[in-house]
Amino acid sequence: MTRTLGRIGLALALPVILLVTWWFASADSTSFYQPPLETIIKVFPHTWTAATFKSDVLPSLIRLFIGYGLALLLGIGLGVLIGANRRLRALLEPILEFLRAIPPPVLVPVLILIAGLGDPTKVLVIVVGGVWPILLNTVEGVRGVDEVLADTCRSYQIRGWLRIRTFILRAASPQIVVGARQALSICIIMMVIGELLGATDGLGYTVVEFQRGFQIPEMWSGVFVLGLLGVLLSLAFTLVERRVLNWYHGARAAERSGH
């Protein structure tokens, strides 16, 4: 627990240093488009009230969590299926590499044409952006499981869901977590992009509305909220990761102490 708190402290140190630097560097700014940090902080309380969080931040978070959850389910499910089947993996690998090379934001207009405007499309945009890191890392994790343990499972006739749950997912979990962390950042980006087009609420929509209304300090405060959201979600993910991979970090620590 102490080590985890120490890591959280280190993670918070850089943002604090950047904010202090920003405060002093922008203190004498007279630019309309680059106001001092002090001005941005002053507009923050009346810009981001409880009502604003309910009307703009909460819808974004709901879309993000639904999209990220679906990306996890889809990526891990397909990743286990593809990674455990050599023929299927050989067949689909070129297609997966081709699709991964397409930047997710490029697909947003296509998704809007197919699914129209609305919350389902915004969730779909998040899923399409976040599924690839999870899927590809899961495939690699399943592909790299210990062959000796795999033979042991076969010898003891451990099959089906029991084999997937107790062996494959556990063995591939470090790689899956790597993909899930990458996907979280991408999902936040895709959440904002999805809210830039045809939206009536959400963080991305609100920031653009401030920009169109030349409410520049308020616009910067929205960017600041997005940054805070990213930091808080990253910290939450770190805590979950430590819990999920506690066995893995313990084994690594024991291995290092043994050497």
pLDDT in tens, 1-13: 566 666 666 666 7
**pLDDT of 176:** 92
Angle between helices 216-244 and 2-25 (to 10 degrees): 170
What pLDDT score was predicted for residue 47?
86
Q: What percentage of the chain carries pLDDT values higher than 90?
A: 20
Give the relative orientation of helices 86-100 and 58-83 as an angle to the nearest 10 degrees.
140
Gap between the terminal Cα atoms of the chain: 24
pLDDT score of 68 more than 90? yes
Query: What pLDDT, on a 0 to 100 scale, did the predictor assign at position 200?
Result: 78
> What is the C-alpha to C-alpha distance for residues 55 and 38, in angstroms, rounded to an integer?
26
Q: What's the rounded mean pLDDT across residues 213-232?
A: 88
Which range (37-51, 147-161, 243-257) has the least confidence?
Answer: 243-257
Q: Average per-residue pLDDT in the chain?
A: 83
Q: Tokens at residue 11, please?
A: 């993670």
Whether 22 has a pLDDT exceeding 60, the answer reads yes
pLDDT at residue 224 tops 80: yes
The answer to whether 71 touches 130, Cβ cutoff 8 Å, is: yes
83/145 Cα distance (integer angstroms): 10
pLDDT digits (tens, 9 = 90+) for 160-216: 777 778 788 888 888 999 999 999 999 999 999 888 876 778 888 888 888 888 888
Structure tokens at 45: 């309380």
**d(C-alpha 203, C-alpha 222), whole Å:** 7
**Predicted local distance difference test score (pLDDT) of residue 18:** 82
> What per-residue confidence (pLDDT) applies to 7?
65
Distance CA 99, CA 93 (A): 10
Average pLDDT over residues 134-160: 81
From the CB of residue 197, how many other CB atoms can be counted at a distance below 10 Å?
17
User: What's the whole-model pTM score?
Assistant: 0.85
Fold of 33-41+49-244: MetI-like fold (1.10.3720)
**Contact status, residue 187 vs residue 64, Cβ threshold 8 Å:** yes
Q: What was the pLDDT predicted at 184?
A: 93
Who wins on pLDDT, 151 or 69? 69
Instruction: Give which of 187, 183, 181, 171 is closest to 238, Cα–Cα.
Output: 181
**What average pLDDT does the segment 65-81 reach?**
94
Report domain extents, the chain: 33-41+49-244
